[in-house]
Chains A and B, each alone.
Chain A
Amino acid sequence: MNAAAQAPWLVVDTGLRPADENMALDKALLQAMGDQAIPNIFRFLRFEESALVGYHQSPDQELNLDFCREEGIAVQRRLTGGGALIFDPTQIGWELVCHRDALPKGDMAAVSRQICLAAAAGLSKLGVNARFRPRNDIEVEGKKISGTGGIMDGDVLLFQGTVLVDLDIPRMLRVLRVPVEKLDAHAIASVADRVTSLRALLGEAPELSMVQEVLLEGFRLHLGLSFETGEMPEPVMALLPGMLIEIRDPEWLGVNNRARDGMPLRKASLRAPGGTLQAEILWDSFGNRVRQVHFSGDYFIQPRRAIVDMEAALRNVHLNDVDSILTELFVQQRIDGFGLQAEHFASVLRMAAEQP
C-alpha cells in the first residue's frame, strides 16, 4: 500500500435514503475518486425498503415486480456485481471507495477476500463467530449474514456489503425470485437454515452505531486502516444531481432486461444409493448456467453445512463446470453423503437443466 493509503479514511454516514439516491451517490463517489478530488471513503448507508439487482441482472428475472409495486418497494440496479437482495431500514450497508493501491495487492478475488476478512473480524466483536465464505459472503455457523460485491473502474474501486441486523424471511421470499416452487413453511425453514441475522444470533438487534463501530474496528485490525469521521465531500455532492438524473432514467434499470421465461424454475429428482435427492434450479437458458440451486430430499450428509456450501459454490455456474466444482468441494470438505457422491449432485442438476 502506498503513502496515500496510510492517510486516514473519511468515514461518512449518509443515513436512511431512497435507493436511487444511494446509487447516485455511488456513481458520484466513483467519479470524484477517479478525478482525484476526494480522500479514501468508508461510507455507511441505509435504504428505505428496496429490492436491488446486481449490475448485470434483469429485474424481471430476479424479482417479483408485481409484489414490489403493490408494496411500494423501490427497485434499483446496483453498480456492483452479485445477486439480487432486499434492503430495509434495519439493515446496514457499508462500502469502501478508493484507488486500487490503497488495498493489498492481488487479483480481484484476493481483494474481496481481504475486505471480507476485515468485515468478519469486526462483526465477530459483537460475540458472533463471523467468517469469510468464498466467493464473497460472510457467514456465522454456516449461515450467511453479509453479502458483498464490487466495481472496479480503471484503478478506482468501490466494494460494498450488507449486514443483516434483522430479517423478515417471508417478505424476502416474496420479493426475490428463489429456486423453490412453493413459498410455504418448509421454504421459510429452508431459508432460515441458510441465512441469519444479528437479532437471531444475539437475541436482540444491536444498536446500528455499535455495528458500525465494530466494522471499522475490523478494518483497523485486519487492514491497518485509520479513520476520521466527516461530511460527504463537496465534489461528490456537486456531482449528485447529474448522477440522479442518470439513475432515474429508465435506461439505467432496464438496460439488461431479459424475459422472465429466459430463466425458468426447473426441478428434478434422483434416487441414489444414499437417498433421494431433489434439485430446484433457476436456469439461465441463454448462458447454459445454473443461476441458483436449492437441494432438498431424503438423505444424510456430513458436514451438515455441505449442502449450503454446494449451493453457494454453484451460483452462476456454467453447466460444463458443475462436475469439477462439486468434485473439488467433496474432496476439500471431506463430504460424506453416505452413498451420495459428487456425481449424483451433478447428475440431478443436469437432469433439472435438461427438463423441457
Chain B
Amino acid sequence: MECNGCEFRAELYYDQECQIWVRREGDGTLTVGMTDISQSIAGKILHVRVRRPGTRRPVGKPVATIESGKWAGPVPNVFDCVIDLANEDVLEDSNLLNIEPYEAWIARVRPVASVDVALKKMFTGDAAFELYRQRCLRDDIHCERGMR
C-alpha cells in the first residue's frame, strides 16, 4: 500500500502522526523504526543515536535522535519503555534509514506495562492507513528513497 509514493505496511503499528512504526516481537519486546514519511521529510540522515540499553524512556522522551542536513530531531516515543537493543548496522550507516526504512529498524524496546497496553495507543491496518494517507495529503508529502 502507498500514498504519494510513500510505502505503508499494514501489519505494523503507527503513532497518530505516522512518524514511527512498531513491530511486535515474540520475546515481549517491540521493534521501533521510522516510516517512509519520516525519512523523506528528514532527507539524508547523517547521525543516529540510541540511548544506552537499560535506559528507561517515558512517554515524550525519545528512544533515539537523528540528524539530517544540520537538523537534529527526536524519534518520538509514545509509550513508557526501556531500551533493549540498538541496531548496530543503522548506527554505523544511518543512510540505511533512507534506503530501507522498514527493514532498517532503530531500536528494540521493552514496554514497562505490557506489549498490549503499549500498542493500544497505536494504530494498525486500515485505520493506520487512513491516518497515513491523511498525513501525506495534508502536508503534501511525496516520498523518495535514498540511494547508495
Contacts and interface: CB of A to CB of B under 8 A. Distances in A.
A binds B: yes
Interface of A: 54-56, 79-82, 105, 107-109, 112, 135-136, 148-154, 255-256, 286-289, 316, 318, 320-321
Contact of B93 (A107, A108, A150, A288): A288
Given A55-B65, A108-B42, A288-B93, A80 B49 contact: no
Nearest to A287: B92
Contacts of B74: 153
28 contacts: A54-B70, A55-B72, A56-B46, A79-B72, A81-B46, A81-B70, A81-B72, A82-B70, A108-B43, A108-B68, A109-B69, A112-B70, A135-B69, A135-B70, A136-B69, A149-B72, A151-B71, A152-B71, A154-B76, A255-B49, A256-B49, A286-B92, A287-B94, A288-B92, A288-B93, A318-B95, A320-B148, A321-B148
A56 B40 contact: no
Contact of B72 (A136, A150, A288, A318): A150
A153 B42 CA distance: 12
Contacts of A55: 65, 67, 72
Contacts, number: 78
Contact of A108 (B41, B65, B92, B94): B41
Contacts of A151: 71-73
B71 A150 contact: yes
Size category of the binding interface on chain B: 20 to 34
Interface string B39-74: 011110011010000000000000001011111111
A56 B67 contact: yes
A318 B47 CA distance: 11
A105 B69 CA distance: 17
Interface of B: 17, 40-43, 46-47, 49, 65, 67-74, 76, 92-95, 139-140, 148
B107 to A, nearest CB: 16
Contacts of A135: 69-70
A80 B72 contact: yes
For the residues of A in contact with B, the DSSP-based class is: loop
A287 B88 CA distance: 11
Given A55-B65, A107-B41, A318-B95, A81 B139 contact: no
A80 B71 CA distance: 6
Contacts of A80: 70-72
Contacts of A112: 69-71
Given A54-B70, A256-B49, 19 more contacts: A55-B72, A56-B72, A79-B72, A81-B68, A105-B140, A107-B40, A108-B41, A108-B43, A112-B71, A136-B70, A149-B71, A151-B71, A151-B72, A152-B71, A154-B17, A287-B93, A288-B92, A316-B46, A320-B148
